[in-house]
Copies of this chain bind each other. A is one copy, B any other.
Amino acid sequence: MTDLFKKHIEKFIVINEEEFSEVLSFFQVEQVQKKQNLMMEGQVCKYHYFVLRGCLRKFFVNEKGIEQTTEFAIENWWLTDNKAFEQRLPTEFFIQAVEPSEVLRIDNLSQEQLLQAFPKMERYFRFIYQRAFAASQMRIKYLYGLSKEAFYHHLNEQHPEFVQRMPQYLIASYLGFTPEYLSEIRKKFSS
Chain A interface (Cβ within 8 Å of chain B)? 60, 62-63, 68, 70-71, 81-83, 86, 92-93, 115, 119-120, 122-123, 125-126, 129-141, 143-145, 176
State the oligomeric state as a number of copies: 2
For the residues of A in contact with B, the DSSP-based class is helix
Partner of A86, one of B122, B130, B145: B130
Known: A82-B130, A131-B86. A68 touches B145 (CB 8 A): yes
Given A119-B120, A129-B133, A136-B137, 14 extra CB contacts under 8 A: A62-B145, A70-B137, A71-B137, A81-B137, A82-B133, A83-B138, A86-B130, A92-B141, A93-B141, A115-B126, A123-B126, A125-B126, A126-B129, A140-B143
CA distance A96 to B144 in the complex (A): 19
